[in-house]
Amino acid sequence: MHIVPGADNDPVFVGVGEIKSGKFPDRTHVQALTQVGVRALKDAGMKPADIDTVLLIPNLHSFDEQADLIFSRMVEELGLNKHAKANFMVHSGGSTSDNAVRVASGLLSAGHAKNVLVLQAELWGSADLAQMITMLSWNGIPKQWERPVGLHFNAIGALIQQRYMVDSGSSPEDMAGVCVSLRKWAQLNPNAMFGHKPLTVEQVLASKMISDPLRALECPPLADGGVGFVMTTAGEAKRRGIPGVRIAGSGGCVSHYSIGQETELSVLGWKIAAERAYEQSGWGPEDADFGEIYDSYAAVTAIAAEGMGLCKPGEGARWILQSTGPGGEFPLNTNGGLLSAGHTGVGGGTALLAEGIRQMLGRAESERQIEKVDRCIVGGSGGSYMDSQVLLLEKAATR
């Protein structure tokens, strides 16, 4: 379906809500989801009764609690029984937010939904650590070939980082610099898990080796957290007199299932995904003002930046340190990213998307708010980096 920019059925984001990431053992899953939902609605100038569709992003800490979501727990919590038209879940790992946006957009543009509330919350930081390690050593790891040799997600990140370092000539210091740049943004984010802790390259390189070449401070910290956002149509936003952010382009590439079958570890699917998004939007990387790109490991973000055309091939890691921190020419992951704001499971990518929306609506804290926010590139990746997803956002017309 072709949607004319600014047409009444053009899908737009109008509000976001978030809670602090970290370890909060006394905060329940439903409590977290309710808080982010209420905050997102308030940010959009709406109330629960305005929502007719609840779209859920799954958690990984408990399949029992995930089942509750599928069976409409949040519809009841928000007082929407017999009012909501639909309650369902979308799941593609770290790229879920990208695909959830596509689903919500289709519902809105086709008239199947009027206002959609997207919710995500995770209790990774407070969950049983042994159980989470087991999960990250099993889910998405092919049982016939890779699971028997002990492959786990930090090892997958290490394989990608090692290949990238060889192909790009990046040093350990270059890779550590990515973490440092992200930490600078986290220090401006009151919801970031490690916003209170400065970080240096020396500290990163002195931390414990986890899976060569990855050290402890290069691995994403498991965190509790949550985020929500509201989508509607441009026509409804204009009727309400509220600003919105539209989706100018969308592109994706599913490149593999088993990481052992990915022949281009230092490239992945980012170039293909970005080209598809740019073609749809009519604009390119040179037109973007900032970016929010999945960063579970430094190499993942560096590879994505290169594939999206934000920097020269082989320069991703060095470019991130030199050009993307606070005051840099291209702000990147302005919430601190997964590596400093905290890895909230499937919600890591959702938090980055929400940050992009927040910035474009001009609602970040003053010291973190970017001045020019007309266009944003958002990138997500799921599972064993089996896919690369790109959303291109731009401010919607308000009249």
pLDDT of residue 399: 61
* 398 has a pLDDT exceeding 70: no
Q: Which residues contact 83 (CB under 8 A, 6 or more apart)?
A: 49, 52
pLDDT of residue 3: 80
* 151 has a pLDDT exceeding 70: yes
- 152-221+245-395: same fold as 11-127+223-240? yes
Between 168 and 149, the higher pLDDT residue: 168
Write out pLDDT tens, residues 368-397. 999 999 999 999 999 899 999 999 999 998
Domain 11-127+223-240: give its CATH architecture.
3-Layer(aba) Sandwich (3.40)
- Domain locations in the chain as residue ranges: 11-127+223-240, 152-221+245-395
d(CA 137, CA 297): 17
Band (pLDDT 50/70/90 cuts) for residue 112 is very high
Nearest to 32 by CA among 69, 7, 67: 69
pLDDT of residue 288: 98
pLDDT of residue 134: 87
Write out pLDDT tens, residues 187-236. 999 999 999 999 999 999 999 999 999 999 999 999 999 999 999 999 99
Q: Taking the domain 152-221+245-395, which CATH number applies?
A: 3.40.47.10
* 297 has a pLDDT exceeding 90: yes
Band (pLDDT 50/70/90 cuts) for residue 1 is low
Q: Which of 135-149, 154-168, 255-269 has the lowest mean pLDDT?
A: 135-149
| pTM summary value | 0.97
pLDDT of residue 339: 98
